[in-house]
Each structure stands twice: as C-alpha cells, then as structure tokens.
Structure 1
C-alpha cells in the first residue's frame, strides 16, 4: 500500500510539472510569433521606403538630365528620331527657322485683318471715316503683301528628302500657306533646269520650282541627279 501511495504521488507531481511547463511555454510561443510578425512588418515597411526612395532618385536624375544644357539632341532622342526618319537623306538646314518666321507672319496678318479695322475706327473719333478706311485697308494690304511675298520666296525650299538608292523617284516635304508640311513624290525623269532668274531655285519638276542647299546635301549621288545640267557642265570644264 505504501508503494502504491508513493507511485500515485510521483505520478501526480509529474503531471503537474508537465502542465506547468506547457502553460509557461505558451506565452513564449505567442511572444515569439508576435516578434516574428513585427519583424516581417518592419522589413516590409523598410522595403517600401527603399523602393520609394529609389524611384524618387531615378525621377530626380531624369529631371536633372533633362534640365542640363547639351549641344545637339540627346542620344536616346536621336535614336528615336533616326528610327522615325529612316530613309531621309537630306534635311533643310533652316527649316525650323522658316517655319517660325512663316507662323509669325501668318499671325500678324490675321491680327491685322481682324483687329486692324476695329482699332482704326475706335481711335481718333474726329478723323474722317474715309481716311480711317484707307488706313485700315493699307495696314491689311501691307500685311497680306508681306505674307504672300514671304511664301513666294520660300515656297521652293525643300525641307526633307526621302530617297532609297536605286529608286527612280523620291519624296520631298514642302511647306504650305499655313506652315504645314506637304509631301510630294517627284520622278527623276521629270526634273528640268530651272531656266529662270528666280533666286534660290535648283531645279524644276512638274511646273514647280525646288531648292536644295547643295552645301548641306551630303549625298553626292542624289545631288548629281537633282542637278544634271550643273554636273554635266562641271565635268566638261574638268575635261578642258
């Protein structure tokens, strides 16, 4: 009986000890799990902050590169331009300048036609109406004349030439009255000497005059075909 009592006492003490260890270890596991979750949350927050800082630094660098002054187009933009303008063998050196001048001339002409008479008739109430009409008409006529003269002067100017070597035709871009580019296709067989005293004319084709800046046309084969008479005369002079 004594042995059975001792055995029961030991068994009950061992159960109590195991129960205490289990209950005491549960908070540890809860604390460990909470610490792990907290560490994961802090890591995710740090990663998000680092990603945001990296994105901001990249954008700041791009903005800084765009604000830098550089000579000529940037390499990435130049590559895009080359892909877009594939096949172009000639650029008019003052094409952008002519476009700006023409847009300015058109703007002043429109303002003169629309606001010139209004301003003239609203000012100087004592002036004769006929005289006011003459002044307004003179302003409109002068503005329209200068705009037409500018268009006549720069209309033969070729802004771009697209040509594939071996082709019997090429495409040019001309400028219209409204300063927009108009494509035209010209065959080499239609090219004729200008036979006129009009300035800045290189050749004539289909009744229209065209001008190419020979100093900036680096494709000599194309230039020789655009100016056949000039090339023949130069070769004849060399033979003499």
Structure 2
C-alpha cells in the first residue's frame, strides 16, 4: 500500500523556481485589476484566491505587498485588502504627466530611432490594428501600451521610458473606462493616428511628432473627462 503524502496541493505541482509563485499571483491579480475584472473597491479574498490558484497564502501575500507598492491595492484597518480606488480628484496631475510623455517620447523617437526600432513600432501597430478590427478591448489596451512603450524606447532615454510605461500601466484602468465610452467599439481613426505618428517619426519631423503626441493625448483626456461627467440620472416619477 502506497504511503499517503501530506504534501500540500501546490507542492505536488511541477516545481516552481523560488519566488515564481508570487510572480504568478502578481501577474494574475495585476491583469484582473488593470482590466477592471476586479473593480475599484473589490475585496481580495486570500482564501478564495489560494484555492483558485492552488497555492499557499504566502506567495499571495508577497504579491499583494508588491501590488500595494504600485498603488493598485490598499490594506484596510481590519487588515482586509481591497483594490485601490481611482483617484479622480487628482486626475489633472496624471493627465499633465501623460500628455507631456506622449509629446516628449514621440519627439525623441523622431530624433533617435533606428530601423530596428521602426520595425518593432510597426509590429506593435499591426497588433493594435488587429485588436481594433476584432474589437477585443483588453487586447487593444495591451497593444496600445506596447506601441507607445516601443516609441519611448526608440527615444533612448530610459528615465522617460520608465516614467511613461508607469503612466501607461497606471492609466490602463482609465483606458478601460475610455473604451467603455465607445461601448468597446473603438473607432478606426485611432489606428490612423498611430500610423500618422509612425510616419512622422520615420521622417524625423520633430515638430509634427510633438503636435501629434499632444493631439493624441488631448482626445483621450477629453473622452475620459466627458465620460466621467456624463449625466446618468433617470427621470423617475414619484
């Protein structure tokens, strides 16, 4: 008769590298938070998550610490963990930084890009265009982020790249709301705007890149502001 094993379920799975469990939890939760699968204010149940991912609560807590450092989750006085709310009161500061990064990174890409950079930017644009054609909102958000990150990398300033990628990641929840304002049917003109940015970068037209970056940011900001301010009241007879 085989000896019964007291090994926890997660340890019977293929051996993970040290720290990979926490990384997996981090990636799963981060994706769910940024895609609004876990809406702002949602309670994160460690027991339920442990069962879902088939692992102990230790890597889950490690992942939550990392997510907290990024401002995506918050710990309440009763030690419960919830998805952080979106700070609508300070959105103007986020929009200021985002607009500046669209302009700066596109300008620098025009000055410093290589053919390899352009190939990567075009590949990201092809993925974004396909996501728009198929109206896959989550894929649109992901490929849009990759497109602008590739432009930032072509600018050859790692500080700007790091800041812009952080803003793009933090803004994914806002961008999810942005796409919802179109009922997840993003107009094809945004693919055209990306194509115009690529052409301006390739032509090394710094001034045009600046204008396109500003225009691209402005329409995103205006659409989000319009959605936030939308009057959703119903006229209910009393």
TM bracket, shorter-chain basis: under 0.3
Q: Greater RCO between the two (CA within 8 Å, min separation 6)?
A: 2
Superposition TM-score, scaled by structure 2 size? 0.25
TM-score (norm 1): 0.24
Question: Going by fraction, where is strand more abundant, 1 or 2?
Answer: 1
